[in-house]
Structure formats: structure tokens, C-alpha cells
Structure 1
Amino acid sequence: MDIMSYLRDRMGKILAIVIGLALAAFIIGEVARTGSSLTQGSRNEIGEVGGEAIGFEQYNKKVETNTNNFLQQSGQAATPQITGYIQETTWNELVSQIILKKEIEKLGIAVGEAETKDMIQGSNPNPQIVQAFGNPQTRELDRSRLNSFLTSLKSAKADDPMKVQWKDFVTQMVQQKRTEKYLALVRNGLYVNSLDAKDDYEAKNKLVNFKYAELSYASLPDAKVTLTDGDYSDYYNKHKSMFKNSVETRSFDYVTFNASPSAEDSVAVKEQVAKLAADFKTAANDSLFVQINADTKAPLTYQRKGQLDPAIDSVMFSAAKGIVYGPYLSNGSYKVAKLVDSRVGPDSVKASHILINPATEGGLDKAQAKADSIKKLISGGASFAELANKYSTDTQSGAKGGDLGTFGRGAMVGPFDEAVFNGKPGDLTTVNTQFGVHIIKIESQKGSSKVVKVAVVDKPLQASSKTQSAAYSKAQGFLASIKGDNYTLESQKQGLRVERATDVTPTANAVTGLDNARDIVRWAYKADIGDVPDQVYTIGSLYVVPRLAEIRPEGYLPVDAVKKQIEVQVRNAVKAKTLTTKFEGALSGASSIDAVAQKIGTNAVPVENIVFANPVLPGLSAEYEVVGTLFGLPVHKLSKPIAGQHGVFVVYAESFTNPPALTNTVNQKQSISQTLLQRADNSLFEALKDKANVKDNRGKFL
């Protein structure tokens, strides 16, 4: 049963083929066999890689699978940010599969039958085989289980789901092995020689002591610098590679109208909870009162100090039974709390259980009946551990005789927690939870402290329809007032703050300031510059009116599109020319760095023990040009002016301290090789991806 469960839940573990992109361990799920839907060639193609299409249905199904696996394994909720991340990693996975498949086939890399058999039954089986058929206690392969499964597989029919799943499972292992071989070929081609090791050693250990004089860019007022189109073009042409857009992006301005609860709304909700507090005091059944009146219908359980809401934690541990406290505001809700009971209970419990799953037994009644039968066997002297190993659907604890170890209050679900902490050592009981029917044996209890059972009734503080309507009306009024290009002017007139979402990609789910902006992004990619939509968008408690501000196409951006982005750098480059001229005058006739510094009205700054590999000047920043010049400069010689990051410098090398001679280059080579290997996979993938002519059309579908 556990083998089938593994094959069902883990089959087709998503391979980490996205080289260097850390696809994350959570992406584990069924993977459609390669080739089935990658060449649909229809209008439903969501993208293309080297002429091979990726279908929307395939992509969407994989995103759904990966999302479900992530939510199950992480326990988190699906936020727009998480959804966007999963969509992106899924896309990268599909792209990488196609790219690598082509490269692997081009090189003729294969995995033969003997090699495949060795991965399953050999002396060093594939880790996935060990995980599927391993002994939970020893974490080693249980060959008897594996052989038993393979024997049963031979007699299974061709269309048996188990056989189909196994075939897919083996296919994935083979694909992974082929990928490993390909990457090994690339990695083995990386070589570090002794000269590389020596250069790296000296870059990290050779020291320089020097002095510098600086004219900072801030010393020349911006108002004295006039920038021309030629200045922008010069900088742009020298740094053109920085302005290549891998995908079209769009930027939009937006104003928001907040429909969060008003003071009037807060008073109304508080009064509603206050009325409930009066009835709560006289309620005969506190649990039923919570179920009927609370928005959050939490079960009543005993909790230790520190587990309650901080707003009531101290109150309830010093109050008398029956006290009703509130209304109080906590986590966006008005609440009223009642102390139902208090007692002294254990701090931790050691327990074992046998879990019976109603889904596999034909219903809760049958599962309960089976649990009662097992309980009778245990009461009659049967081994709890043996029965747990045989019957428990919690195979992890079942393999350990049902042992759950020692745990504190609140570690288990409510009914289970109540049973083990309210019982006594030696008790054998059955409890129903959302996981099934548990046969529980309390082994021991430790510690002793006061615990309380508190009933809480809550009502969320939400905006009333009146508040929402008022905010929406303002948003509609603003939208109606937009005529032509008066968006900014009208915003200022109405006292509205204009925000900007910059360089938004076609698949973005969230942007700066807006957590769930997918609808606005869709609109932006259908709009022209200056357009506003014909509707007000609702995002949480905000009403949003956007305006498309900029379109940056795929490829090299023109200089006009990046002028604002590079304005500071261009201004500094122009300042550098003026400051360099000033330095050249100071260098004329000067024999020392102190004389140069005096001429420009400053002091020479001494610096000690700087290495080439870490070119950070104390109190400033990384100055690559400055430190690079120093290590190529003879001692006791003034440099020419150097345009750096912070200003223009002149340096003077006073002394160099060479490290001890490198006699053994092994460790140095290993260090460099490790760095190369860490970068190689990602660099390789990006190079192959660029060559593959990847077309991403997801923005039209998502």
C-alpha cells in the first residue's frame, strides 16, 4: 500500500533541469511524458522554444500540479507572489526540458538497459528508488520490498495503473541520468591551471599601501553641469549591453481610493460585539455559542501561557472562571473572550497511535468499527507496535510501532491534543480527527503547568457598503474627469498621490504597492501610452485608476527610453571631465600626492592593506578603476586622474607587500573550480536559452 501511495503522490518528481535556477524542492508532481503536447501547433500555443511549441493546456496543468504540491508541502496560502513564482519556475522547467533534450539528442547521450537496471537493482541504486523502497528506520534500500514489487509488476496487465506509473517513474530517472551526463561533460571541460591559481592567490593576498586625493562629484554642483544629447549618447554607447530588454515591459501610473473601514464602521462592529458579550456571559453552551456567532469557529482547547492572543494572554491566566473580556481589537477583528475553564496539566506527552483512514475503509462507520476491533485486541494483550506496523495508514509512525515521540501542547490537531493531555499515562482511547480514526496510547506525561480553555467570538472589522460606495464614487468621479493628458494635473487638483509600477512584465501578478494586479497588467498590455481604462479596478480594499505611462520593447532600448534611468551616471561622467581638467592642472609640477591634494584644496588620504580582490575604499564604496590602476602602478609614482564611482581620484602607491610564495596550488585550484561550477550551470542555460530563440506568449493567456 505504501508503494502505491508513493507512486501515486510522488511519481514523476520534477527534475531539477533548470540549470542553476534552483527550481526548489517543493515542485514534485506528475510530469506528462515528453513530447505529448509540446508540438500541438495550434492557436493555444503559450510559447515556443527552438521551433517546438508549448501548449497552454500542458503548461496550465503543470502549474496547477506544482501549485498543489507547494501548498501541501509548505502549508502556505496561494498569494499572487507565490503564484507568480510557480508560474515562472514552471515555464523555466518546460523551456529547459526542450533545450536540454535537443542538446542531449544532438550529442547522442543515452542510458542503456543495463545501466537502467543498475539504477534500480544495482549496488548503488538511484536515490529515488531508495526513497520509494527504503527502510524508514535504516534509510537504506529494502531489497525484499523492491524485489516483491518488481515480481508483482511482471504479472500485472499492460494497462494496470501501477505499471503505467512505474514506466513513467523509470522514464524520469533515465531522463535525469541523461541530463547528469550532459552536465558532467560541460563541467569536466572546465579547467583551472597553475597561473589561474597564482593570479587568484595574489589578488586575494597581495597588499598595497597608498594615498589618494579625490574631487568628489558632489563637490561640483549639479546646476553648473549642462547635459547634452551627445553626453547621453556617449554614455549609452559605452554601456549599451546594460540596456537590453529580454522581454517587453510596460510601466503604468496609478492612483488609489481607499475603502478601508471608517471610524463609523469601527464603532458599529464594536457595538455588535458588545451586544454579543452580554449574551455570552449567560450562555449555557460556550462551544455552541462560538459556532453560531463567531466568524472564526475555532474548537475550544486547553492552552498554556503564551499560546493565547497577546491581547488576552495575561488577562485569562489571572482571571476567575466565567469572566468575559472585551470587546477588544486584535488582528483586524473585534473580539470578546470568555474563560471557560482552567486547570493544571502536563507540559508534554509521549504517545503512540494507529491511524485508520475512512476513505480506504468504506466510510467513517467502518473505520470506527475497525478501530474498535484493534483496540480490543490491544486490550486483550496484542502488541500495539505490531498492529501499528500492520494497520496504521500513517506509515511513517507505523514503521516505528506507532511512536509519535514526545510533543508539547498544541503540536497536534485539537481532538487529538485534548485526548492525550486530558488523559493519563496508560490510557488507550479512540479519537476522530480530520485525518481519520486514531487509536491512541498515552505512554507518559511530563511537567506540570496551568492551562486555560478560552472561548472567543470575533467579528472582522470591515468597511460598510456606505464606506465602499463613497470610495468607489470618488474613483469613478476621478476616472470621468480624465480628458486627454490631464491625468497628472487632475490628480494634483484632487490631492491624489500618483504611484508608478515600473517595468511590469506580461506575466506579473503583483506590482509595487498592489498585491493582486493581474487584471490591470492584462489591461496595460492592450493599451497605448496615455490610455486610461474604461473601468475602476478593485484590489482588496483599494479602488485603482491606472494610466499607461511607458512601453519598453524587447531588445536594445533606445537612448531616449533610458535617459531618466542614466541621468545621474551621465551627469557624473560630464563632471568627471571638468574635475579631471582640474586635477591635471594640480599634477603639473607636483612631485607628491600631498602637493596635488594641497593644490585642489584637500588632504591626501592614507589607506593600508587593500587587496585587488576587494577594492573597497574605507568610508566610500567599491572603486574598481582606482584599485585596478593601483595594482598596475609602480611605487612612488603619481597616477593620472581616474574617474571612479564616487569622484575623480589621483593615487600614489607607497608600498606593496607580497604574500608568501604559493608552493601548492591544489587548494587554490579547487576553490576557483568550485566558483566556476557554481556559475557554469546557470551560464550554460542562459546561453542555450538565448540561442534557442525562446518565445514567451504567456501574457496573452494568464
Structure 2
Amino acid sequence: MGVMNYLRERMGKIVAIVIGASLLAFILGEVLRSGSSFFKGDSDALGEVAGEKISYKNFQAQVEQAKQQSGQTNLSGQFTSYLEEMTWNQDVSRVILNKEIDKLGLVVTVDETNSMVNGNNPDPQILQYFGDPKTGKVDQVKFNNFKASINAAKADDPMKIQWVQFLEQLGTNKLAQKYISATSNGMYVNSLDAKDDYENKNKLANFKYVTLDYASIPDNKVTLTDDDYQSYYNDHQYQFKNKQETRSFDYVSFSAAPSKDDSAAVKGQIEKLVPELKSTTNDSLFIQINAETKAPLAYKRKGQLGDPQLDSVMFNQPNGFVYGPYFSNGSYKIAKLIDSKVGPDSVKARHILLPIGADGEAAARAKADSLKKLIQAGKSFDELAKTYSIDKQSGEKGGDLGTFGRGAMVAEFDNAAFDGKKGELQIVKTQFGIHLLQIEEQKGSSKAVEVAVIDKPVTASTKTQSTAFSNAQKFLGALTKDNFDAEVKKEGLIKKTATDVQALASSFQGVDDARQLVRWAFKADKGDLADQVYVAGDQYIVPVLTEIKPKGTLPLDAVKKQIEGAVRNHVKAKQLLDKFQAAENGASTIDQVAQKVSASAVPVQNIVFANPVIPGLSLEYKVVGTVFGSKPNKLSKPIEGEHGVFVFSLDNFINPAPLANAVREREQIGQALAQRSQSALFDALKDKANVKDYRSKFL
């Protein structure tokens, strides 16, 4: 129920929502403020950016605020890690941008701030929250009333504090825009750039090629030497830059997932409830006492029951029918059809929402009853809604809630709206207060059912968990630094590998909630066994650290296994190059070369430089690049490609029509460059800022 969610926030929290709305504000943070006063000693230093420390205490406060704004109560470890990563990036960007802005002497003047708030072209956030949808402009009456309430508020009023923070945030955004504009304005796309880009996308090449695949030489016919590895490594060293330290470890996991006995036990528990569910006269109370998921009772149409099994059964049974036990979404369930009826598919309604204040529910109901009598006597519902309703979003529209389907509102409101009659005024209590509801229109007709569902999740018993832990503990006790693989084989277990795990990871391949295990890995040395059995979700894990990859350019030993396939292809390429060179001796056409190497000359049509894909072979950058630098009807030299060694002969180019609008092409290229430049700019500034990350010591 969208309007009800809005009521939770009320008008006083509108600014808090605004603050979080801007992407730039989220990335760049509190640029206007100096962070130095927060930092008191290295023990609180979560990291350093250009010599400035980032406070762990301040960082945690920001993470907690982000958790609250997420609106979720039970946050997973993975989602928490995401919030922590975003907050860290925000802090790093704040420090970097602050220093760059100071260097350039950029400021936001009072006049600029006033223009963003009160000018003819206000900031989009002002328009978003104070705009009139009909005119597309700021509703000045609404905005002036808001500002008047702000001015009248005390200095420590949360609403006033949030408004001040919002104005600061507008300044932050403006400074960021100025800085980005200052850097992006230095980029220029000329006519030659536009012409080259146009031709790269539209000039076509037609050619024939012959290829000898690397797979044509068996791997066991190739011997790789240290020189082969070193030569490849030297030529491709730029590919082996590790942005942050990673660690790899082998491990064995012992599952504590629910067993068949656990499942049978839960099924037995739910079966015992079947007679009680059939006989109970208070279904709502029975749900509250026995169900794991305590959903309120509400009428629902077909497709809204949550379980396809219920949809196929409950609409054709008499009241009191009990279905189950059945298994769904990790739980055993039973369901009872309490009632069924035919009602409208959708309702158009309006309401006036009154708070239940210190005087209690009776006073709120009395006020609703007075308003009801005024409306029945001819008073305008619209005017009363604008004056009295605490649901300001609908109140400003005369209480209008629009048209909604069954299940869109909370159960009490939903039942009143769908069970009542057109034009009827009802007083309804919900978790949000007392509603004076008027049904304006009802459309359609379909059957709806009220179903009580009792669920019991299947979880691992203490016995199952204890057995898994004991097996893991026994395995750990038998290990030495040299016998991990032997013990795995002896016990008939499966060894798994976590590869290139980062210091702040809370999970790795197939394993969630593994933060403690990862922390161990980053304290251990290569070859170390675990000091304990680690718990990750429903798994008990025993690991051994196998590899440490430090930050920076990795040495050959660290990537030797990774590059083995590429090195082998490079060695094979030398043999295939020799074969092609011999075949080209005395040959004048691509077909003659193909015949000599016992292959076929394959024709390809309409290849463009900007998409260097050879049909059936995927990307071949070097081959296609060479094609576009060639002349027609000449045999190419052998080329070492991604899938094999190639020789080609260009038939012809098909040039596109002359570029009709160079200005538009330049604008499109410029826009693409501007978008890429922002992230590239901050990457470059981060490298220059010498960012030191100590988060793994805290998180």
C-alpha cells in the first residue's frame, strides 16, 4: 500500500529521503565539510587517502544510517558488505574531491544556492518533492508553507537540521558538477575523429581466410620450457597487475543441512496440527500461536495465495476444508479455507486519515464520526481531507487513493473497501490510525478466498549439526601441514578450492556468511592449516591456505598456472607459422595456400572494424585489425590469432556513404567520452592519492 508506506515517513522525513536521492551526493559525500576533526589516533584509522585518515567510528555511523535507510530489518552479510563497500567508496571520493576542489578554488556562492532553491530553474530535487504534476513547476504555496514551518522551527528541530543538511548537499552536488565540467570541458572531438569513428562502424571488409587451429596440435606434443613462460610473461606483464591482495585456499566442507530425519520430524509436527486447525473457531489466534510466518488473514484472488498448490485447490472447496501437509519454499505447511465470496476486482476510493493521539482510539473515532456527519450533511470531502488528513500525499488530492486491486492495502482497509458499497462512508482502524473511507467505484467481479496457512520451516536438528561438527573436528585433528590431500583421499572427501578471495569478502564460490573464515585466511601464511573449524551457513569448513597474491604486478610463479594454456598456444603458433610460411612459398592465391596446408579458404562478408568478430570464431582483434590495414588481392603474412594462425586475402572494401552530419557524430562521441571520463578520472585520482585500506582489520 504505497500511501501507507508514505505515512510511515510523514512530511517531517521528506528531506531525509531527498538527501539519499542524488547519485552524486551518494558518491561524493560531505565535500563541504572537513573530516580532519574526526580522526583521533591511528587506532581509529580505517584507511588513508592522500595522507588523510578515514575514521572507523565515523564510517560505522554512516553504515548504520545506510542500513536504516534501506528499510530492511534482517540484513544478510552480503548486503551489509555491499553497504560497507559503498560507504568506503563514498569516503575515499569525498577526500579526493575535496582536495581537488581546494586546488582549483571552486566555491558555490550564496546567489547560486538561492537560485537552486528559489530560482526560476530550481534543482530537480526541489521540483521532485514540491512540484505540481499538472504544471511541471514548483507549487509555490506548498513550498512556501514548508519553508515557513522550517523558519518557525527551533534550531534543534530534526526537520530543520535535515533541511540545512539538504542545502549543504545541494552545494556538494553543485561543486561536483563544477569540477566535472572543468575536467570534461578539456575534451575535444574534431572532424577527423568523427570521420574515423563513422568509418570504423560502417566501412565493410570482404575477405577469405585460412586458419590452422591450435587444437590441431595435441597438447602432449608440445613441451613448455621456462623460457617459453618467461617470454610470454614479459610480453603480457601489464595483464598481471593485482589491484588488491588476494588469497586462495583449499577446503573440505561438512554439511549441516537438514537431514531426511529432520524433514520427517517437522512434517510430523505439522501433521499433529491438522485436527486442531480443522476444529479451531479462532483461526487468526491459531496462526499467531502456531505459524512461523504470522501473516494476517485477508481475502485474495487466484494467483495471490503465494503457492500454486493452493491456487489449484482452494477455489473449488467448501469452507473449513484443510489441505496438506505440503512442502513449499523450505517449509511444511497446512492450509484452511476459512471463507470465500465473490467481490469486485478493483476499487476506487478516498480517505481521511486521523492519528490515534494521546486521547486514545475513542477520541479519534469520535472525530472521524463528526467528519462523516459533516460530509453526509453536504460538506466537501475534498476540503476536509486537505484540512484534517495526516496522509498529506493523498490529502492534497482530496483524499484520493486512486484505483487499487485486492491485496494492495493492509487487510483491514482492504476488506472494508472491497466488502462495502459504492458511496458508503466507513470508519476503519489500521496500524496507521483511524480512516474515514469512502468507496467511489467498484469494478469487475471475481471469487476471493480467505485462507489460513500454518508453516513450519525445515531446519537442521541439534543432532545433525553436532554430527557434522564432530566429523569436521575429527578431520582437523588428523591434519598436519603435509597431509591435507592424503587425509582428504583417505576419508573419501571432496576437496574444494576458493580462488583469489579478497580481504573484505563475506562469501566465496558457493559459500555465504564466511567472513570469519576469510579473516583467518588473511592472517595466515601460505601452507597454514586452520586453527579451528569455521562455520559458514549450514557448512562446517576446514581450510588450508595455498596461495597469496600480493597487490601490484604478480610474479611469474603466481600466474604460471593461469597462463599455461596461452603459453602452450604461443608455442604451437610457432610451429603453425612455419607451416604457413612454407605454404606461401610459391603461392599467389589464398586457395593455393589452403590446398598446401590441407585446409579450406573461408569467405567472410561485411566485417566492420568496430566489431572484430569472425563468424564462427568470435573475436579476432589482431586478424581483423590487419585486414583493415591491407590492400586487396594480396596474401597476408601468417598472423597469430586467438584461435589459431591465420592467412587472409582481402577481396575489397565497401565504403559507406559520406558522413552527412559531422556535428552530430562529434556530439555523440563527446557524450560517450564524457561518461567514460568521470569514472576514469576518479580511478586516476585514486591511484595518485595512494589509498591505504585497513578495513580487513576492522570488518
* TM norm. shorter chain > 0.5: yes
* CA distance in structure 2 between the aligned counterparts of 1:116 and 1:638, rounded to whole angstroms: 67
The worse-fitting range, judged by mean Cα deviation, of 686-695 and 78-87 is: 78-87
The equivalent position to 1:611 in structure 2, one of 604, 608, 614, is 608
Q: Map Cα deviations across residues 431-463 of structure 1 (whole Å, 9 max, x no partner).
A: 232333322211121111111111122211222
* CA distance in structure 1 between the aligned counterparts of 2:359 and 2:499, rounded to whole angstroms: 56
* CA distance in structure 2 between the aligned counterparts of 1:685 and 1:629, rounded to whole angstroms: 34
2:64 maps to 1:67: no
Which residue does 1:656 correspond to in 2? 653
Q: Map Cα deviations across residues 13-53 of structure 1 (whole Å, 9 max, x no partner).
A: 475348xxx96xxx9x9999543655444311101111111
- 2:550 partner amino acid: P
SS at match of 2:452: strand
- 2:313 partner amino acid: V
Unaligned runs of 5+ in 2: 1-6
Q: Map Cα deviations across residues 304-347 of structure 1 (whole Å, 9 max, x no partner).
A: 11222112221111112222221111111111111111111111
* CA distance in structure 1 between the aligned counterparts of 2:367 and 2:487, rounded to whole angstroms: 72
Which residue does 2:353 correspond to in 1? 355
2:16 maps to 1:9: yes
* CA distance in structure 2 between the aligned counterparts of 1:162 and 1:299, rounded to whole angstroms: 34
Which residue does 2:317 correspond to in 1? 319
After superposition, the Cα gap between the structure-2 partners of 1:149 and 1:326, relative to the gap in structure 1 and judged at 3 Å, is closer
The equivalent position to 1:230 in structure 2, one of 227, 230, 237, is 227
1:157, distance to aligned residue in structure 2 (A): 5.5
2:437 maps to 1:440: yes
* CA distance in structure 1 between the aligned counterparts of 2:478 and 2:360, rounded to whole angstroms: 62
After superposition, the Cα gap between the structure-2 partners of 1:185 and 1:83, relative to the gap in structure 1 and judged at 3 Å, is same
1:566, distance to aligned residue in structure 2 (A): 1.2
* CA distance in structure 2 between the aligned counterparts of 1:119 and 1:84, rounded to whole angstroms: 35
Which residue does 1:690 correspond to in 2? 687
Residues 483-502 of structure 1 mapped to structure 2, 5 A cutoff: 483-502=480-499
2:543 maps to 1:542: no
The equivalent position to 1:455 in structure 2, one of 444, 448, 452, is 452
Which residue does 1:564 correspond to in 2? 561
1:416, distance to aligned residue in structure 2 (A): 1.5
Which residue does 1:407 correspond to in 2? 404
SS at match of 1:680: helix
- 1:566 partner amino acid: I
* CA distance in structure 1 between the aligned counterparts of 2:73 and 2:160, rounded to whole angstroms: 34
SS at match of 2:618: coil
Normalising by structure 1, we get a TM-score of 0.93
1:554, distance to aligned residue in structure 2 (A): 1.0
* CA distance in structure 2 between the aligned counterparts of 1:661 and 1:400, rounded to whole angstroms: 56
After superposition, the Cα gap between the structure-2 partners of 1:386 and 1:596, relative to the gap in structure 1 and judged at 3 Å, is same
Q: Map Cα deviations across residues 510-567 of structure 1 (whole Å, 9 max, x no partner).
A: 2111121111111111111222223222222222222222111111111110111111
The equivalent position to 1:171 in structure 2, one of 160, 163, 168, is 168
Which residue does 1:388 correspond to in 2? 385
- 1:64 partner amino acid: E
2:53 maps to 1:56: no
SS at match of 2:138: coil
Is 1:214–1:649's contact at 8 Å kept on the other side of the alignment? yes
* CA distance in structure 1 between the aligned counterparts of 2:13 and 2:247, rounded to whole angstroms: 45
* CA distance in structure 1 between the aligned counterparts of 2:355 and 2:565, rounded to whole angstroms: 66
* CA distance in structure 1 between the aligned counterparts of 2:485 and 2:97, rounded to whole angstroms: 49
After superposition, the Cα gap between the structure-2 partners of 1:135 and 1:33, relative to the gap in structure 1 and judged at 3 Å, is farther
Which residue does 1:91 correspond to in 2? 88
Which residue does 2:635 correspond to in 1? 638
2:75 maps to 1:78: yes
2:523 maps to 1:516: no
After superposition, the Cα gap between the structure-2 partners of 1:515 and 1:566, relative to the gap in structure 1 and judged at 3 Å, is same
Residues 267-306 of structure 1 mapped to structure 2, 5 A cutoff: 267-306=264-303
- 2:62 partner amino acid: K
After superposition, the Cα gap between the structure-2 partners of 1:161 and 1:465, relative to the gap in structure 1 and judged at 3 Å, is closer
The worse-fitting range, judged by mean Cα deviation, of 547-556 and 432-441 is: 432-441
* CA distance in structure 2 between the aligned counterparts of 1:480 and 1:432, rounded to whole angstroms: 62
SS at match of 2:409: coil
* CA distance in structure 2 between the aligned counterparts of 1:187 and 1:202, rounded to whole angstroms: 25
Which residue does 1:310 correspond to in 2? 308
SS at match of 1:43: helix
SS at match of 2:334: strand
Normalising by structure 2, we get a TM-score of 0.94
After superposition, the Cα gap between the structure-2 partners of 1:13 and 1:195, relative to the gap in structure 1 and judged at 3 Å, is same
2:457 maps to 1:473: no
After superposition, the Cα gap between the structure-2 partners of 1:691 and 1:361, relative to the gap in structure 1 and judged at 3 Å, is farther
* CA distance in structure 2 between the aligned counterparts of 1:298 and 1:687, rounded to whole angstroms: 52
1:640, distance to aligned residue in structure 2 (A): 0.7
SS at match of 1:203: helix
Is 1:40–1:54's contact at 8 Å kept on the other side of the alignment? no
* CA distance in structure 1 between the aligned counterparts of 2:34 and 2:67, rounded to whole angstroms: 20
SS at match of 1:256: strand
1:217, distance to aligned residue in structure 2 (A): 0.6
Which residue does 2:3 correspond to in 1? none
Is 2:514–2:535's contact at 8 Å kept on the other side of the alignment? no
SS at match of 2:614: coil
SS at match of 2:647: strand
SS at match of 2:497: strand
1:207, distance to aligned residue in structure 2 (A): 1.3
Over aligned residues, Cα RMSD in angstroms? Answer: 2.4
Is 1:17–1:93's contact at 8 Å kept on the other side of the alignment? no
Which residue does 2:4 correspond to in 1? none
1:651, distance to aligned residue in structure 2 (A): 0.8
* CA distance in structure 2 between the aligned counterparts of 1:272 and 1:4, rounded to whole angstroms: 47
Is 2:287–2:453's contact at 8 Å kept on the other side of the alignment? yes
After superposition, the Cα gap between the structure-2 partners of 1:128 and 1:560, relative to the gap in structure 1 and judged at 3 Å, is same
SS at match of 1:596: helix
1:277, distance to aligned residue in structure 2 (A): 0.7
* CA distance in structure 2 between the aligned counterparts of 1:127 and 1:167, rounded to whole angstroms: 17
Which residue does 2:342 correspond to in 1? 344
Is 1:361–1:367's contact at 8 Å kept on the other side of the alignment? no
2:424 maps to 1:421: no
* CA distance in structure 1 between the aligned counterparts of 2:252 and 2:373, rounded to whole angstroms: 68
* CA distance in structure 2 between the aligned counterparts of 1:273 and 1:31, rounded to whole angstroms: 57
Is 1:40–1:53's contact at 8 Å kept on the other side of the alignment? no
SS at match of 2:447: strand
Which residue does 2:44 correspond to in 1? 44
After superposition, the Cα gap between the structure-2 partners of 1:252 and 1:354, relative to the gap in structure 1 and judged at 3 Å, is farther
* CA distance in structure 1 between the aligned counterparts of 2:336 and 2:660, rounded to whole angstroms: 76
- 2:128 partner amino acid: Q
SS at match of 1:639: coil
After superposition, the Cα gap between the structure-2 partners of 1:145 and 1:459, relative to the gap in structure 1 and judged at 3 Å, is closer
- 1:44 partner amino acid: D
1:131, distance to aligned residue in structure 2 (A): 3.3
* CA distance in structure 1 between the aligned counterparts of 2:286 and 2:10, rounded to whole angstroms: 46
After superposition, the Cα gap between the structure-2 partners of 1:253 and 1:380, relative to the gap in structure 1 and judged at 3 Å, is farther
Unaligned runs of 5+ in 1: none
The worse-fitting range, judged by mean Cα deviation, of 85-94 and 617-626 is: 85-94
Q: Map Cα deviations across residues 106-154 of structure 1 (whole Å, 9 max, x no partner).
A: 0111121222222222111122333343346545212344445555655
Is 2:31–2:94's contact at 8 Å kept on the other side of the alignment? no
Alignment size in residue pairs? 691
- 1:10 partner amino acid: I
Residues 121-132 of structure 1 mapped to structure 2, 5 A cutoff: 121-132=118-129
Q: Map Cα deviations across residues 613-658 of structure 1 (whole Å, 9 max, x no partner).
A: 1110010011111011111111111111100001000111111112
Which residue does 2:621 correspond to in 1? 624
Is 1:136–1:396's contact at 8 Å kept on the other side of the alignment? no
1:168, distance to aligned residue in structure 2 (A): 2.2
